Amino acid sequence: DAGVTQSPTHLIKTRGQQVTLRCSPKSGHDTVSWYQQALGQGPQFIFQYYEEEERQRGNFPDRFSGHQFPNYSSELNVNALLLGDSALYLCASSLRQGAYEQYFGPGTRLTVT
Amino acid sequence: AQSVTQLGSHVSVSEGALVLLRCNYSSSVPPYLFWYVQYPNQGLQLLLKYTSAATLVKGINGFEAEFKKSETSFHLTKPSAHMSDAAEYFCAVRTFGNEKLTFGTGTRLTIIP
């Protein structure tokens, strides 16, 4: 049973550029959440997707956007990158009904120079 | 609003000694509580969860946690530390109808041989 997968593993971008991160949820899961983890901090909730719609959003600017596809996979897009966007981006999947926990992928390490 | 406080950003214990990692939560409604572990350069792995059933919860790798409503606490314990327990530990909270996980700032556990 494949767990949550994310790509790429590492990414280096320049300020002002745009980036797309990808996530495939655990088999059987229909909900994807994205978190940003800065160095030495706990993960911060960005947003959650269910049925191809953004259902809940954390305190992140509109530069952060996402998408969920019919197969439940998801993308996180960040525009106009800032140095402060450098972080580990974690994808978590869950089952909307009848479950409480979220399962995390290995993350994508984004470095903005 | 929901929040988590983890007391002690760094904890060191000797191999074979008791592990105690502290977590206090704040929530206006009954919470769901979680402990996750993060090894270097990896994502988060779920250790255990409290979802309003038994207040003493057993997880993987010999860890357990007790939900104490009167103290708003959910401390993580393990009777005997192993070298492989060295990692970062995060406590997290969410509530019914609120999909986002709110994490504490983490506790780095070091095991002394």
Q: What are phi and psi of A59, to 5 degrees?
A: -85, 70
Chain B CB contacts of A102 below 8 Å: 46, 101
Q: Which amino acid is at B7?
A: L
| B65-98 residues labelled b (16+ CB within 10 A) or e (exposed) | bebeeeeebbbbebeebeeebbbbbbbbbbbeeb
Q: Which amino acid is at B97?
A: G
| pLDDT attached to residue A85 | 98
**How many inter-chain contacts (A to B, CB under 8 Å) are there?**
55
DSSP code for A25:
P
Q: Is it the case that residue B64 has pLDDT exceeding 80? A: yes
Residue of B nearest to A107 (CA): B43
CA of A43 vs chain B CAs: smallest distance (Å): 6
Closest CA to A71 of A34, A106, A24, A37: A24
Q: Is it the case that residue A1 has pLDDT exceeding 70? A: no
A5 close to B (CB below 8 A): no
Average pLDDT over residues B78-107: 94
Q: Is it the case that residue B99 has pLDDT exceeding 70? A: yes
| pLDDT attached to residue B41 | 82
| pLDDT attached to residue B27 | 86
Average pLDDT over residues B42-52: 91
Q: Is it the case that residue B96 has pLDDT exceeding 70? A: yes
| pLDDT attached to residue A98 | 66
In this predicted model, which residue has the larger pLDDT, B33 or B1? B33
Pick from A58, A90, A100: CB nearest B44: A90
Instruction: Kindly state the tokens that stand for B82.
Output: 């192993």
Average pLDDT, chain B: 93
- Is there a contact between B99 and A58 if contact means CB atoms under 8 Å apart? no
A45 close to B (CB below 8 A): yes
What share of chain B has pLDDT > 90, as a percent?
Answer: 81
What share of chain B has pLDDT > 70, as a percent?
Answer: 100
In this predicted model, which residue has the larger pLDDT, A97 or A17? A17
